[in-house]
Amino acid sequence: MNNCAPTQTPEIDHAALRARYLAERDKRLRPEGQKQYVASEDGFTDFFEGDPYTPVTPREPLTEEIDVAVLGGGWAGLTAGARLTQAGVEDFRVIELAGDFGGAWYWNRYPGIQCDSDAYCYLPLLEETGYIPTQKYAYGDECFEHAQRIGKHFGLYEKAIFSTMVKSLEWDDSIERWRIGTNRGDDIRARFVVMAQGPFNKPKLPGIPGLNDFTGHTFHSARWDYDYTGGDMRGGLTGLEDKKVAVIGTGASGIQVIPHIARSAEHLYVFQRTPSYINERGNVPTDPEWVKSLQPGWQLQRRRNFHTAAFEAFAPGQPDLVCDGWTEVSRNVQSYLDENNLWAEVTPEKFMEIRENQDYRAMERVRQRVDAIVTDPETAAALKPYYRFLCKRPCFNDEYLPTYNRDNVTLVDVSATKGVERITAKGIIAGGVEHEVDCIVFASGFEITTELDRRYGIHPFAGRDGLSLYEHWADGYRTLHGLTSNGFPNLFFTGFIQGGVTASTTDMFDQQATHAAYIIGEALNRGARTVEPTTEAVDGWCATIRETAVDNSNFQRECTPGYYNNEGERNIRSHLGEPYWPGFYALEDILQSWRATGRLEGLALGE
């Protein structure tokens, strides 16, 4: 599974393409930026808070004191639970809105759902649980089952509080604990809190005029209504056979679900503002002989190789273990340097020039692929992505583009009007034309780079002396190592904040969980009631973040609007947070060395 060749890419006119990229970006820029989306709390809670999969069982409010509360039961929360258990911490709870573990893979059960990156890298704790994915790109049910597997393996079900939403989080200095309020009336007092509430399961909706006017059926892709559509995650949506259906959104969710709707619906209208990058999927079952060859530590090795391709560069002769669209540009750069014997003389500036050229060529290959598959020239032209690789989330699908050759599918390009104009009682207006439909499916994404209070949805969220986290971070994140913040004792963060960034997000969660579990375990063993970074330590880490920062704002600014670049707002906030740019594994070395001293440097311990 390691034999991987570079792709054949066409010659390009770099200057002409760059001008086209900028023009296409400008067509889609909207002055309101992220405010073009509405939060589900703003009168649309049915799109978020309801659970179509697990009935909510009535229970009495809980009143309890615990050592640790893990907020969230997705990959971050499961990994935190696993590492806490391994660190000898036993008295903790995992509080989760869903009726089971899984996070995004619990909520997202739409037909065709599949992980978009190498499952051997993506699925966490594979070696710990002794599991190997059945195929290179696992489908959603396998991802969900693996989340359940982790929960069972580490005994986390006995510690879970499901069907419960955290509504408030306040530090109570009189008892030196966090008071956690929920929608079930609970009063949970936790010594430590691990924030593992990923935003990838919280839907957002486009702020289209008339959003409430439609009298037909609506739902978000993250809360799929199989009672209405029929079928399951493999398709067979027989309930749509006499229905005209609209899908708003052509990102990762839309790409996967659209082929299934098209096969069942009387007619499908796809409303697209920006086309996605669509590369081959080429999924394959796991090779048993390859599995037999794996040695301990194989997943870490594979993840590190994936990280190299996405964020650094392959060295001469270094194999591409992942070998897909995510690693294509790095693989082609390596081949170019090999063929032209440039390794000894290439400067960093020349390297970036070569990489950009290979980026442009790879994107042109993807655009030419559209022409080779889609028969109608006008539709094909609208489906071509004109932007740099990684300006938007890449998508991989072998069924999506052929869908537009069906007679019952209409692509409605809304780039000229920067989106849908209006929703009416009967349908959707775009380009002055009303398209009457029976059902609207919103595949409009999640609260990933919106304002922090929208992402967390916790009010109030207050540390010492009532300090609001949202105010504390109003001008930028303030942390030590991306995990803890002054003014918020015993609180640990996960996600893209001020830490390392790697191609495998679940590896980042593991790095954070391991470090947080170590600190919590040490604090409990030492009898410390509070652990909090000093202001000087936080200031020092923030200075390190600034001093080592790589300015990629121009890349983001020239990208087409999307959640990767905060919808093109003037003050761009990356979906990667404020990374430690020397590298994910450079940060790992720092954290391991920090732990090895046992001094808990930069943390103040309260007896």
Phi, psi of 554 (to 5 degrees): -70, -40
**Model confidence over 274-286: pLDDT tens digits?**
999 999 999 999 9
Instruction: Read off the tokens for 71.
Output: 């907020």
Dist CA 30 CA 45 (whole Å): 26
Omega before 460 within 30 of 0, i.e. cis: yes
Contact 411, 379 (CB under 8 A): yes
Q: Could you read off the pLDDT of 193-215 as tens digits, one per residue?
A: 999 987 677 788 899 999 999 99
Residue type, 587: L
Q: What is the rounded average pLDDT of the residues 245-267?
A: 97
CB atoms within 10 A of CB 375: 10
Span 283-296, mean pLDDT? 98
Residue 290, pLDDT above cutoff 50: yes
The string of DSSP codes covering 36-88 is: GEEETTTT-GGGTT--SSSPPPP-PPPEEEEEEEEE--SHHHHHHHHHHHHTT
Give the integer Cα–Cα distance in Å for 154 and 440.
40
Which of the two residues, 36 and 182, has the higher pLDDT score?
182
Residue 163: band (very low, low, confident or very high) from pLDDT cuts 50, 70, 90: very high
pLDDT score of 43 more than 80: no
pLDDT of residue 32: 87
pLDDT confidence of residue 198: 78
Element spanning 258, H or E: helix 252-264
Neighbouring C-beta atoms of residue 367, cutoff 10 Å: 20
Pull the structure tokens for residue 369.
Answer: 């692929």
Q: Angle 328-339/348-373 helices, nearest 10 degrees?
A: 120
Query: Helix, strand, coil: what percent of the chain each, to 5?
Result: 40, 20, 45
pLDDT value at position 607? 83
Average pLDDT, the chain: 95
> Higher model confidence: residue 446 or residue 317?
317
Residue 573: predicted pLDDT: 75
Please give the distance of CA 420 from its chain centroid, rounded to a whole number: 25
Its pTM stands at: 0.96
Q: Let me know the angle formed at the C-alpha of 330 by 325 and 332, rounded to the nearest 5 degrees.
A: 85
pLDDT of residue 220: 93
Q: What's the rounded Cα separation, in Å, for the pair 98 and 37?
A: 24
* pLDDT, tens digit (0-9, with 9 covering 90-100), for 89-120: 999 999 999 999 999 999 999 999 999 999 99
pLDDT at 1: 44
What pLDDT score was predicted for residue 3? 61
| Cβ–Cβ < 8 Å for 260, 270 | no
Beta bridge partners of 606: 530
Task: Give the three-class secondary structure for 189.
Answer: strand
pLDDT for residue 38 = 84
DSSP secondary structure code for residue 301 in this structure: H
Interatomic CA distance for residues 197 and 202, integer angstroms: 10
Amino acid identity of residue 104, one-letter, is A
81 vs 311: CA distance, rounded Å: 28
How many other CB atoms are found less than 10 A from the CB of residue 495? 21
- Alpha-carbon gap, residue 74 to 197, rounded angstroms: 8
Residue pLDDT, tens place only, 514-552: 999 999 999 999 999 999 999 999 999 999 999 999 888
Residue 485 Cα to chain centre, angstroms: 23
Helix ranges, 70-215 (H): 75-86, 104-107, 119-122, 126-129, 140-153
DSSP 5: P
Interval 574-588: pLDDT, tens: 788 999 999 999 999
Q: Are 149 and 131 in contact, with CB atoms under 8 Å apart?
A: yes
Contact 248, 442 (CB under 8 A): yes
How many other C-beta atoms can be found within 10 angstroms of the C-beta atom of residue 91?
Answer: 14
Q: Would you call 188 helix, strand, or coil by DSSP?
A: strand
Angle at 197 between CA 79 and CA 586, to 5 degrees: 55
Q: What is the pLDDT of residue 260?
A: 98
Residue 47 banded pLDDT, cuts 50, 70, 90: confident
